[in-house]
Amino acid sequence: MKRGGLIAPLSLSVAAAMAESRPPAVRPNFVVILGEGHGWSSTSVQMDDTVSGSKSSYVHTPNFEKLAQEGMRFANFYAASPRCTPSRATILTGKSPAQLHMTFVGEGRGESGGSTNGRLIPPPSTIELPAGETTIAELLKRAGYATAHFGKWHVGRTDPRQHGFDESDGPTGNGGPDNVDNPHPKQLYGMTERGISFMARQVNAGKPFYLQLSHYASRQGGAASPEALAKVKSRGGGLSEQEVAEAAACLDLDMAFGMVLEKLDELGIAGNTYVIFTTDHGTPGRNTPLAGGKGTVWDGGLRVPFILRGPGIPANTFSHVRAFDADLFPTLAELAKVSEPLPKNIEGGSFAAVLANGRGTVLRPREEYVVYFPHYDKDAVGPASAILLGDFKLIHIYETGVSKLFDISKDIGERNDLAAKMPEKAAELEQRLDQYLKEIGQELPKPNPDYDPSKPTVGKQDGRERGKDRTRNNKTKTTL
């Protein structure tokens, strides 16, 4: 109604009736693709616009390139652990492996997570996601979302349905639903087809969804399809047999991902769906220009690809804001406009505001971020922790008590140890590390009374004698 050229205010009853007649706001969907052991430079997507070597020189992944061209890349995204189970648990809960006491992959199956003759005894760890933890699936499900997880679960024997997922492949490990030595490429495409079916059914039901496709070891040790092998070989390039196998396995992953993108377009929901690709840790092989890899707390084991596309995200953009696995939980909750308070002791912060232009600050309960890995694995230095704060990263080695300090904004390969030149900064980060572990009630490695220095130290995970430092063999020219 108009009075004197002005719009008269509506009565409360009329306003309420109009509000009730409006359709509910369309909530976004989420598709999370979790790779297994794909390092920062393992795909053909350049992850950092200032580092030319932040992509593979021989792997071709056109569908991931498409995702990057249509979305945003985080150049400084870190996995919660250099091992799969801990990282997967953090993605699900927003809490660190240290807080969850899920710091390794062997405990609970008769493996010590240490060594047959180490100087230290690692603290106890579990591979079972605690029943009392709220997962992102549970949070979104209570907000009206349909939820599904297909692929590698690997956070215990409890069925994913008990952690909020409506549909899943069950509590699968490295062997997949069939419990075989190598689930690829059968499960690679199988989980993709199950995910596509899930998406279609939710669209037909008019329900928003969260879909996570967690892949098996498609890079290292995963078989490739004849089609992928043929495509890689047809491209030439003088690749070694190992490089051909890796490139073909990655291409299979890319082709399966392309199926998901095509289905989103077909269903007409691509514009309202956040699509995320990341991985659980770095590769066990080359991670140039980074140092180290799987099983180490050097950046090669922790810094991983992170690409996302979705509503409001500018195309072909880079963000240099540092983010972590723990940030996914609060970010997805904010993007989904979940009204329920987040669980207590969440360690991540939402980077939803960063998605507008790639800039901003992620507010977390703590300034620093800790990766606690007190186990003998694939690094000659043995059990260690890493703490990141600002431009600095400190690696504390438990066997020797030595700490190494790096300015990773200038020294991406972690080659210039600044601990002796900047003792105050090193002491500050050591103090923060100690305080964090005390506050969350995490134990430290203890001296092994049975240690025999005359015998070799053999880790149970890789079965090899620890000797030559394999974390510092990356020699490459880096454009900074």
Residues 171 and 159: their CA atoms lie apart, in Å, by 5
Q: pLDDT tens across 347-386, in order?
A: 999 999 999 999 999 999 999 999 999 999 999 999 999 9
Residues 288 and 52: their CA atoms lie apart, in Å, by 11
Cα dist. 87→40, 93, 277, 280, 310 in Å? 15, 10, 14, 6, 24
Beta strands 77-78 and 369-373 are: unpaired
pTM: 0.89
The whole-number pLDDT of residue 440 equals: 95
Q: pLDDT tens across 32-85, in order?
A: 999 998 899 999 999 999 999 999 999 999 999 999 999 999 999 999 999 999
**Crossing angle of helices 84-93/328-335, nearest 10°?**
30
Is the confidence at residue 114, as pLDDT, over 70? no
Domain ranges of the chain: 29-356, 369-471
Tokens representing 133 are: 């933890």
In the structure, what pLDDT confidence band is assigned to residue 182 with cuts at 50, 70 and 90? Answer: confident
Q: pLDDT tens across 126-173, in order?
A: 999 999 999 999 999 999 999 999 999 999 999 999 999 999 999 999
The whole-number pLDDT of residue 181 equals: 83
Name beta bridge partners: 151: 214
Q: What is the CATH number of domain 369-471?
A: 3.30.1120.10
Residues 264 and 213: their CA atoms lie apart, in Å, by 15
Phi first, then psi: what are they for 118, rounded to 5°?
Answer: -105, 160
Is the confidence at residue 477, as pLDDT, over 60? no
User: How much is the average pLDDT of 118-122?
Assistant: 93
Higher model confidence: residue 324 or residue 472?
A: 324
Higher model confidence: residue 287 or residue 306?
A: 306
Higher model confidence: residue 25 or residue 42?
A: 42
- Give all strands of the β-sheet with 369-373 in edge-to-edge order: 369-373, 384-389, 392-397, 403-407
Q: pLDDT tens across 238-265, in order?
A: 899 888 988 999 999 999 999 999 999 9
The single residue listed with the structure tokens 């989904």 is: 336
In the structure, what pLDDT confidence band is assigned to residue 437 with cuts at 50, 70 and 90? Answer: very high
The whole-number pLDDT of residue 237 equals: 84
Q: Where are the strands (E) in 194-241, listed by range?
A: 209-214
Write the DSSP string, 368-404: SEEEEE-S-SS-TT-SEEEEEETTEEEEEETTT--EE
Is the confidence at residue 480, as pLDDT, over 70? no
Query: By percentage, how much of the chain surpasses pLDDT 90?
Result: 77
User: How much is the average pLDDT of 413-437?
Assistant: 98
Q: pLDDT tens across 389-412, in order?
A: 999 999 999 999 999 999 999 999
**Fold (CATH) for 29-356:** Alkaline Phosphatase, subunit A (3.40.720)
The whole-number pLDDT of residue 390 equals: 96
The whole-number pLDDT of residue 459 equals: 56
Residues 376 and 459: their CA atoms lie apart, in Å, by 6
Go through 32-62 and write b for each residue having 16 or more CB atoms within 10 A of its CB, e for each that does not: bbbbbbbbbbbbbbbbbeebebbbbebbbbe
- Quick count: other Cβ atoms within 10 Å of Cβ 26? 11
Go through 390-425 and write b for each residue having 16 or more CB atoms within 10 A of its CB, e for each that does not: eebbbbbbbbeeebbbbbbeebbbbeebbbeeeeeb
How confident is the prediction for the chain on average, in pLDDT?
A: 88
Looking at 105-119, 441-455, 463-477, which range is the least confident one? Answer: 463-477
Tokens representing 409 are: 């904004």
The whole-number pLDDT of residue 472 equals: 34
